[in-house]
Amino acid sequence: MSGALDFIDLKSQYAALKGSIAERMQRVLDHGQYIMGPEVAELEGKLAQYTGAKHCVTVASGTEALLIALMALDLKPGDEVVTTPFTFAATAEMIVLLGGVPVFADIEPDTCNIDASKIEAAITTRTRAIMPVSLYGQVADMDAIERIAQRHGLAVIEDAAQSFGASYKGRKSCNLSTIACTSFFPSKPLGCYGDGGALFTNDDTLARAAREIRVHGQSARYTHTRVGVGGRMDTLQCAVLLAKLERFEWEIAQRLALGERYRALLADVPGVDLLAVRDDRDCVWAQYTVFLETSSDRAAVQGALKAQGIPTAVHYPKPVHHQAAYARFAAPDAFPHSIGAGARVMSLPMSADLTHAQQDRVADALRTATTR
Ligand SMILES: *Cc1c(COP(=O)(O)O)cnc(C)c1O
């Protein structure tokens, strides 16, 4: 048996881009504009162009992007936001931090994304926005969500932390809603070497609000027009991403191909169900996530894979309303598909640099583990 695999291989990516990363970081160290240096605007221009959105505003993290998006929309205490309970906690966290109320709608059991047909029943006179999450790198049914939002005069915020680079009906994630928020946490599809994030919008007023909120609500230097945060992304991190963009298209193509290859390798493995990807979109596989039959099967399979040097993870073991901080927002037995997914999901090693030999090793080990 060869050595342990990385869950996400960032070392091969660094090896491929080492020269360019060093050069771009050195340029920042030489010009010395560590905050809001020229790389910030350069990156924002490139990311806006990539997604097709009119505006890109880089911020300190994906979490900060969600916070600034909600602040730009002027979310008030008591305002409700309809979102999915099956996500990373940050999605609901920023709503609650501003005094808002997350109102959950259950997921589709096969994609783990919010079920658009369940959103309307969650809307009240206090609802201000719908916040779908593009989980694992696949966008939710944004056209259906947009129609509901228009009917009720609501904003849509795409939590695109896991889906930068994904496509939906020929359009890019981050250009499908009123505002979109992504994360450049190192392990995300486009990751920097620390914290970073961005929000995207086609609305000039919201873009301006987000730019001001990012720097303490300043509309000009020392002119604090609104309450904001210190939410900028470092120039050095922007320089890292500019280097990473050089092969990002290749990485996305690799992710899509590796996802297809995993599908073929795992299609007939007993006790393993695959995530559904809808025909009109793709999945960039921020996580390559599959379903086991029960949580005890999952624990056994994780143990067997670990013994073979194959790391796995669970995204996420519990829906948000089963976390103590958010339990007050829903009954414990609500959202059975989210609870079921939490018991059954397991993520396998995935990154653009995963080799076919490594992928074969993961598939073989999984097949052995489930057929014992
Ligand atoms: C990673 C993630 C976030 C938070 O992004 P950070 O950059 O880590 O703050 C928010 N939502 C989802 C769905 C995520 O996966």
The CATH number for 111's domain is: 3.40.640.10
Within this chain, do residues 228 and 261 fall inside the same structural domain, yes or no?
no
Average pLDDT of the residues in 283-299: 97
d(C-alpha 156, C-alpha 147), whole Å = 10
| Inside any domain, residue 233 | yes
d(C-alpha 159, C-alpha 134), whole Å = 6
Within this chain, do residues 59 and 171 fall inside the same structural domain, yes or no?
yes
Q: Write out the two tokens for 148.
A: 């509901």
| Inside any domain, residue 3 | no
Of 8, 63, 314, the one to substitute when testing ligand 1's pocket (max ligand atoms within 8 A of C-beta) is 63
Within this chain, do residues 40 and 134 fall inside the same structural domain, yes or no?
yes
Within this chain, do residues 331 and 188 fall inside the same structural domain, yes or no?
no
Q: Write out the two tokens for 230.
A: 């210190």
Within this chain, do residues 93 and 221 fall inside the same structural domain, yes or no?
yes
pLDDT, tens digit, for every residue of 3-39?
Answer: 899 999 999 999 999 999 999 999 999 999 999 999 9
- Domain with residue 334: its CATH number is 3.90.1150.10
Q: 101: which DSSP letter?
A: E
| Inside any domain, residue 5 | no
**pTM reported for the whole predicted model:** 0.97
Q: Strand, helix or coil at 313?
A: strand
Q: Which of 196, 223, 246 is the last residue of a domain?
A: 246
Residue 66 CA to ligand 1 centre (angstroms): 9
d(C-alpha 362, C-alpha 358), whole Å = 6
Within this chain, do residues 151 and 298 fall inside the same structural domain, yes or no?
no
Which range of residues forms the domain containing residue 141? Answer: 10-246
- The answer to whether 156 touches 114, Cβ cutoff 8 Å, is no
Confidence of residue 42 (pLDDT cuts 50, 70, 90): very high
The angle that helices 90-97 and 62-72 make with each other, rounded to 10 degrees, is 40
| Inside any domain, residue 22 | yes
**Cβ neighbour number for residue 370 with a 10 Å cutoff:** 18
Could you tell me which of 295, 263, 256 has the C-alpha nearest to residue 363?
Answer: 263
| Inside any domain, residue 205 | yes
| Inside any domain, residue 266 | yes
pLDDT over threshold 70, residue 261: yes
Within this chain, do residues 165 and 240 fall inside the same structural domain, yes or no?
yes
Residues with CB under 6 A from ligand 1: 61-63, 87-88, 90-91, 133, 159, 161-162, 183, 185, 195, 197
Residue 222 CA to ligand 1 centre (angstroms): 31
- The answer to whether 363 touches 262, Cβ cutoff 8 Å, is yes
Which pLDDT score, from 0 to 100, does residue 69 have? 98
Within this chain, do residues 122 and 164 fall inside the same structural domain, yes or no?
yes
Average pLDDT of the residues in 338-352: 98
- The answer to whether 104 touches 329, Cβ cutoff 8 Å, is yes
> Among positive and negative, which fits the CA dihedral 35, 36, 38, 40?
positive
pLDDT over threshold 80, residue 213: yes
Contact residues for 346 (Cβ-Cβ < 8 A; gap 6+): 289, 290, 291, 292, 298, 301, 302, 312, 313, 314
Average pLDDT of the residues in 247-261: 98
Residue 111 CA to ligand 1 centre (angstroms): 19
Total tally of structural domains belonging to the chain: 2
pLDDT over threshold 90, residue 88: yes
pLDDT, tens digit, for every residue of 127-145?
Answer: 999 999 999 999 999 999 9
Of 87, 113, 162, the one to substitute when testing ligand 1's pocket (max ligand atoms within 8 A of C-beta) is 162
Of 64, 88, 229, the one to substitute when testing ligand 1's pocket (max ligand atoms within 8 A of C-beta) is 88
Which pLDDT score, from 0 to 100, does residue 233 have? 98
Within this chain, do residues 236 and 349 fall inside the same structural domain, yes or no?
no
Residue with the smallest CA separation from ligand 1 atom 14 is 161
Which pLDDT score, from 0 to 100, does residue 360 have? 98
pLDDT over threshold 60, residue 1: no
Which pLDDT score, from 0 to 100, does residue 371 have? 80
Q: What is the mean pLDDT of the chain?
A: 97
Which pLDDT score, from 0 to 100, does residue 259 have? 98
| Inside any domain, residue 2 | no
Q: Write out the two tokens for 49.
A: 């162009």
DSSP strand pairing (80-83 vs 101-104): parallel
Residue 134 CA to ligand 1 centre (angstroms): 11
Residue with the smallest CA separation from ligand 1 atom 2 is 161
Which pLDDT score, from 0 to 100, does residue 176 have? 98
Within this chain, do residues 191 and 253 fall inside the same structural domain, yes or no?
no
Which pLDDT score, from 0 to 100, does residue 118 have? 98
Residue 280 CA to ligand 1 centre (angstroms): 25
Task: Identify the burial level of 267 via C-beta atoms within 10 angstroms of its C-beta, where 0-12 means exposed, 13-18 middle and 19 or more buried.
Answer: exposed
pLDDT, tens digit, for every residue of 151-205?
Answer: 999 999 999 999 999 999 999 999 999 999 999 999 999 999 999 999 999 999 9
- The answer to whether 99 touches 81, Cβ cutoff 8 Å, is no
Residue with the smallest CA separation from ligand 1 atom 5 is 62
103 to each of 6, 88, 115, 123, 129, how far by Cα in Å? 37, 15, 13, 8, 10
Q: Which of 190, 213, 246 is the last residue of a domain?
A: 246
Residue 217 CA to ligand 1 centre (angstroms): 23
Which pLDDT score, from 0 to 100, does residue 3 have? 85
pLDDT, tens digit, for every residue of 96-131?
Answer: 999 999 999 999 999 999 999 999 999 999 999 999
Within this chain, do residues 252 and 229 fall inside the same structural domain, yes or no?
no
d(C-alpha 32, C-alpha 371), whole Å = 58
Q: Which of 190, 219, 246 is the last residue of a domain?
A: 246
| Inside any domain, residue 1 | no
Within this chain, do residues 65 and 133 fall inside the same structural domain, yes or no?
yes
